[in-house]
Every structure is written in C-alpha cells, then in structure tokens.
C-alpha cells in the first residue's frame, strides 16, 4: 500500500464525515483519540501505512480542529497523507505552548 493512494471508502449512498471541534490547546484530546483510532484501523487492515483519511469522504474542523484536519489530509509527494495521527499528537505536545498563549 505504500505510495498507493486509496479511493474513499464506498458504503453505497452513505457519505462518511469526520468533524473535529475546535478548542485551542484542547485539540490534544481529538489528536489522542484519532491516534488510537488510527492504530486500531491499522491493526484491522494489517497495514501500518493506513491513515484516518483513508476511511472518510469528508474531514472538516473548526479552529484547532481545522489544523488537525489540514494535517490529516495534507498530501505527501505520493498523494498519501503527510502526517500520521501520532505525529499530529506529537506536534500538539511540542508546539502547544508556542501556538496557544495563556490569555487569562
């Protein structure tokens, strides 16, 4: 599967949508949940290159959820997702202090 772009899943007339809420630094919560989901999907498919984006027709988010969405769907040079969910989680852990400043 490496380097192979997967078509969106087909469930007849059903369209699969992943919506990720905003919430600033709390974006770490969906990042961790998506990391666990991606790991389970990789086990089910017996393929460590499987990504969250392989299973949804549409992925959308607001605020920090939009950042996660962009990272889940940004393509690499082979048209595959550039970041894994665990890399997104690691990004949040490392960069949250630089992105989300305390305002109160």
Q: What pLDDT shows up at residue 11?
A: 65
* High-pLDDT (> 70) share of the chain, %: 87
Give the pLDDT confidence of 53-80 residue by residue, as tens digits. Answer: 999 999 999 988 999 999 999 999 999 9
Residue 13 has pLDDT above 90, yes or no: no
* Contact indicator for 25, 31 with CB cutoff of 8 Å: no
In this prediction the pTM is 0.80
99 CB-side CA count, 13 A: 15
Average pLDDT, the chain: 87
Give the pLDDT confidence of 22-32 residue by residue, as tens digits. Answer: 877 777 899 99
Domain segments of the chain: what residues? Answer: 27-100
Q: What pLDDT shows up at residue 3?
A: 58
């Amino acid at each position: 599967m490496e380097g192979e772009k997967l078509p969106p899943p087909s469930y007849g007339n059903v369209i699969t949508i992943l919506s990720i809420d905003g919430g600033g630094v709390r974006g770490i919560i969906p990042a961790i949940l998506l990391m666990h989901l991606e790991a389970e999907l990789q086990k089910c498919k017996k393929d460590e290159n499987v990504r969250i984006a392989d299973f949804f027709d549409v992925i959308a988010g607001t605020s920090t959820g939009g950042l996660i969405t962009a990272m889940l769907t940004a393509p690499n040079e082979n048209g595959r997702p550039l970041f894994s969910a665990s890399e997104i989680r690691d990004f949040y852990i490392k960069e949250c202090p630089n992105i989300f400043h305390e305002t109160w």
